[in-house]
Amino acid sequence: MNFKRSDQWVLLGTIALALTITLGLRVATTPERQIERFVARVSEPLDLNRATLEELIALPGIGPVLARRILDYRATHRAFKTVEELLEIRGIGPKRLEQIRERLRVVPLEKRDSSR
């Protein structure tokens, strides 16, 4: 196929415009969603009865081993009734609990189930 020089420029411009719009939309929306998720995660206390391994690891002073112990404790005891129950877990003492207390909450299973 032979295109005139002006047709080549129009085609090239159209492709460049489509690429710019596509990349622009991706850049414009993705960081906002990530920021929104981050702000929600940091601003809302984490429910110990719903927290995932990754969410627990994100807490200060809680690594993969302690996060796994928290999940094991929750599975064994069905649910947390208070944040202070974390003191029952080996590796969590009063000092570590004070570091994370404000970032945690306990929603009783009855309330969580009835709100669905």
pLDDT along the chain (116 residues), means of 10: 82 87 70 69 85 94 96 95 96 96 88 51
My answer on whether 27 and 62 are in the same domain is no
Question: From CA 32, how far away is CA 18, in angstroms rounded?
Answer: 22
pLDDT at 53: 95
My answer on whether 64 and 93 are in the same domain is yes
pLDDT at 18: 86
pLDDT at 116: 45
Reduce the DSSP state of residue 46 to 3 states and report it.
strand
Nearest CA among 68, 65, 85, 67 for reference residue 77: 85
Question: From CA 111, how far away is CA 89, in angstroms rounded?
Answer: 25
Domain count, the chain: 2
Reported pTM: 0.61
- CATH number of domain containing 56: 1.10.150.320
Rounded-to-10 torsion of CA 40, 41, 44, 48: 150
